[in-house]
Structure 1
């Protein structure tokens, strides 16, 4: 149906425009008798399409201002005011096309919904491996989960050590280890070596499929926002009909009633709002914010409650080196250089984080040799002629006697990763990695407070102690942790007591809450496809400080749209009164209405060309690092 409308609406603009020009052309060519019929014929397709739409709306219980346009076109045709009819038809069709264009522009198709959803699984069958569709997987089937695979169904580890990135489901930034017999959720990613999984559920009954159903249910429960202009429909329609009928009854002249209807044709309402919306959406896009439609922009302007995820949203979502603690007399840069050089031989996410940190610091990485790795725990080998061991404290404690007495992991902050480095059989130092709070987080929260955000709460799937530790010093009203996707929806719904709710998140686990919120904002630069699809607003850059910018743009666009609406209605009312008193003919009323249209459109365009919204100072973009092992518990 939408594709049909996209084809029909441009045609409905072209027909009255071509008819208007052709009618004048026929008159100039000496065929003046053809002029009126041409204008009448050019009006009929627009009127027919309008009547069909009105009937469809009435069946849904909607009464809009389109009724005024239908009355004015019908009246003009009946009373022989064909020029007025075709002008009104052109105004109406042009407004509808512009509104359709605004919607398409603002709601660009978010492609690749849930691209990470696995379609196939590798199953053991009679001593060999076979690739099968997910529908064929049954409980007790033994599957091979290769490195980089998304786990297709819920199950338990049947062989090998599983190192899993669960951030998409739990929001947990750091991968976790699962030994044989431990459960594994579908939708998590294997970031370690391959392991075997014994399926416990079918694909449709697994965790990931359940989250998808939550997204669909939450989206279906949120009613679409009515068009801004229609809020004034009944009052304006009643005033228009009353004034037109009064003029007819008072003077006995139906042309006066027609003139009132023509002036009242609500093109300022139809045109001003989508123009301001397109301007606002374009403005936000320049700041790296994608707003999916006029309803989203208007709701964004009215939010008063913020529910924000932690991992990947309030924090970077990736472990980064925060502290280097070398043993006495050992240079810190040398410690990182040796550890990162050895870690070049590993695919582990923490190994990659150390390598990137060394590269950022400009350290020359050396060639490792004789490398032996214990998946998920650590590795050892030779670097620059020295025997180097890198891994978790437990791993090194098995290699070095007395290490457990030297290193007390409990002294480190909650949620951090401690990596130990040994050189030639002795402890050389420790590297501490943390999923750090975004540097702009505190400033963004304060800016949101100044913008009128009355309540700001954290909703995280991470542990309570980690969530509380990371938010120390932030001006938050509450901290919710250990949340499942369902419980995040509960937090969003509870927030509505204080006003319209905005939810910000990045993972698949956030998608249901994003869909359930009045306005969902996804960290689209690094976030999951599911969250970007479920959200109403997507941040195209990995910067939290774009949120207040988007709110400022939305509020200014909405304010300008309302100014245009009020000015358009006011001028139309003046014109309607003048028409009722006989000072305007239908054609003059149509031309007056065109002048009003131009005025409100120019005013609406101020949303595109106005002053730049306040922005936070430019900061270096987040480095692409990831996290791992040995979290303090």
Structure 2
């Protein structure tokens, strides 16, 4: 492995220092020569560092090191100089390791941009460099390809626009609609009429924004330099005063030796390097120590929504069924038709069936129509999954489903059998279950203002913001608006930006610290950021902020304590109580103390995690209970038409499923999971709220059972039954959400 020049310098200086110690046995001259060479070896690069700093109109800890090294050479205190040289070389090596930048490489943005396009000439297609595409040309974009230029659609299709807007679901576009470069064709091959060249198109603008943002990011001053701003002139003043008052230059050198800012040169890099190591073990890789220092000072946070605060993919939120149809039947038929489709909504349907432990039905003659959905034959019936052909003359339950989808801000995927609607699947990008808890931890860590910054619609953004508790929302934001907002936040205080998409890359580069989600996030976002969360857990953001806060606190504490001790040693040297070599030894003792304190940044008290096996088991059971919860809501809706055989059957089926499936789950949580969580939560009080919810759920199920025990449902029971069922639905929704947030985030992924 090739050694860095800092490592080679440290090896050379340490070897000369040790060799001088052995040579001392032969006499003082050979030892002094070796120590003087070690001093000079460190002095030459130190002078270069200081010159570079002065050219940049700044000065810091390195200047004091140069004075000490030069002073020991001037008065012949070669051993003291060699010791200081070893300290300086060690500090530079540690600092280099802590602050080496990986750079803001934008190659992913450039690589993703198409280099070629398919231009139509009559009935022929020719593949040409994208730079040769002109306004007015007709181009063809194949399935899965990135649209190379801004254009107008000449046919219907669907596009994955998440790279630009962050929106997870594919968007259907009609003939004549504008399409921006950078989006992916999620439908069949489609023709477009070019409206802008590649250079003038949307995606090229995103690349330029990221480049400009990275170029405009100012370097960060080292913490050690900031402390040295006042420590350096004070040290020189004390040394000059000691020389002037005593006439002994040795006292001035002794002061400079004890003033050598090794607590700054060593303790700060050690703390920062330790913090970076701890952050890496927590699943966050920081590209340099400056990012960690800034995270420790951050007061403002801008967060992308889709894929960052939310899961970044649509999920089936609820299943609204026609009377006499169960959620299990619907999911089985829909999954059977959708299982071979690559569409993002089809994936959501099959995932919902799998989580609910529903086996997909066997479907035959499956075909897909872009923008309309898929259909196939299941059990002799033609099943269609997708959009409705017509919304006219819908039955009451379907109109209720449409209203509920609008209120829940969810998309509807309709399931029809032989042309008759049988169910509507409510699909929405879900908020991460650890998002709200992460925001609370961030506020406790000192973040004062949180902005949700998203390209999504205002209503969706507002709903998410209300659930997780942010201070402000900016929706419908373009990449240019995101970068403008991040810069505005930066003017107020140190700002962190968190995102995962190509459209977030410019803002990530512009922020004081950009943090990208690396698991499902784009490579462009990761390369534009200063830190990358390696897995898909947003709570790692709170981890790294807490680590950065503690690391900075320990760095300041170590540097401050070392500086105070150095001041005391300087006073002793000024009075002649410490000769240069003794001063170097005292300084070494100070260094050891502050380094040991700085090394505490390697460790932190981690919150105890829960019993993983149980947590994963019960979390999985939550997903499997979707049909039960759907049956409860369906039974309540069925009572809207009053008492009758259909409503009676729906209520009894819901009660049966509650007793057979839900209550055993709740009782198992009470007897198995909650006792296991008691040590983690510090006592049984941590689960009291959840236990009270269990009691309320059982009470409502018993009440439902008493209604049904009296015989067929009567008209005078309808109001109370509906209140019971809707109440049960609300309690279950809240209870499941609380458990997901409070307990299941304790599990190690």
TM > 0.5 fold call? yes
Match of 1:262 in 2: 257
Distance change in 2, residues 1:81/1:45 (3 Å): same
Are residues 1:423 and 2:414 paired? no
| SS of corresponding position for 2:296 | helix
- Picking from 379, 382, 389, the partner of 2:377 is 382
1:312 CA drift (Å): 1.5
Match of 1:550 in 2: 544
* Partners of 2:316 and 2:408 in 1: CA distance: 15
- Picking from 6, 30, 39, the partner of 1:9 is 6
* Partners of 1:613 and 1:559 in 2: CA distance: 20
**Cα deviation 1:110-145 (Å, max 9, x = unaligned):** 796335333333333564434333333332333322
**Cα deviation 1:162-208 (Å, max 9, x = unaligned):** 21111121122221112222211111112222212332222221111
Equivalences for residues 354-503 of structure 1 within 5 A? 354-393=349-388, 395=389, 397=390, 402-403=393-394, 407-408=398-399, 409-412=402-405, 413=407, 415-496=409-490, 499-503=493-497
* Partners of 2:265 and 2:207 in 1: CA distance: 36
1:19 CA drift (Å): 1.1
Distance change in 2, residues 1:615/1:295 (3 Å): farther
- Picking from 307, 310, 321, the partner of 2:305 is 310
Are residues 1:21 and 2:18 paired? yes
1:443 CA drift (Å): 2.5
Match of 1:571 in 2: 565
**Cα deviation 1:71-122 (Å, max 9, x = unaligned):** 1111212222221221111111111011101123x75887963353333333
1:60 CA drift (Å): 1.1
Distance change in 2, residues 1:239/1:472 (3 Å): closer
- Picking from 141, 147, 154, the partner of 2:150 is 154
* Partners of 1:541 and 1:617 in 2: CA distance: 20
* Partners of 2:476 and 2:541 in 1: CA distance: 25
Match of 1:100 in 2: 96
Are residues 1:35 and 2:31 paired? yes
1:31 CA drift (Å): 6.3
Match of 2:344 in 1: 349
Distance change in 2, residues 1:26/1:448 (3 Å): closer
1:384 CA drift (Å): 3.3
Equivalences for residues 206-217 of structure 1 within 5 A? 206-217=201-212
Distance change in 2, residues 1:496/1:14 (3 Å): closer
* Partners of 2:27 and 2:494 in 1: CA distance: 61
- Picking from 123, 128, 132, the partner of 1:132 is 128
Check conservation: 1:455, 1:498, Cα contact below 8 A. Answer: no
Deviates more, 1:572-581 or 1:481-490: 481-490
How many residues are matched? 614
Deviates more, 1:132-141 or 1:501-510: 132-141
Distance change in 2, residues 1:117/1:616 (3 Å): farther
Match of 1:89 in 2: 85
* Partners of 1:56 and 1:499 in 2: CA distance: 28
Are residues 1:250 and 2:241 paired? no
1:309 CA drift (Å): 2.1
Are residues 1:200 and 2:191 paired? no
| SS of corresponding position for 2:58 | coil
| SS of corresponding position for 2:93 | helix
Match of 1:113 in 2: 108
Are residues 1:590 and 2:571 paired? no
1:289 CA drift (Å): 2.0
Deviates more, 1:176-185 or 1:106-115: 106-115
Match of 1:626 in 2: none
1:497 CA drift (Å): 6.5
* Partners of 2:104 and 2:164 in 1: CA distance: 24
Deviates more, 1:523-532 or 1:406-415: 406-415
* Partners of 2:223 and 2:607 in 1: CA distance: 24
Distance change in 2, residues 1:613/1:589 (3 Å): farther
Greater relative contact order (CA < 8 Å, ≥ 6 in sequence): 1
Match of 1:628 in 2: none
**Cα deviation 1:310-332 (Å, max 9, x = unaligned):** 21122212110111122222221
* Partners of 1:206 and 1:497 in 2: CA distance: 30
1:429 CA drift (Å): 1.4
* Partners of 1:484 and 1:18 in 2: CA distance: 58
Deviates more, 1:13-22 or 1:363-372: 363-372
- Picking from 35, 44, 48, the partner of 1:48 is 44
TM-score normalised to structure 2 length: 0.77
- Picking from 591, 609, 613, the partner of 2:603 is 609
* Partners of 1:449 and 1:509 in 2: CA distance: 26
**CA RMSD for the aligned pairs?**
2.8
TM-score normalised to structure 1 length: 0.90
* Partners of 1:492 and 1:553 in 2: CA distance: 23
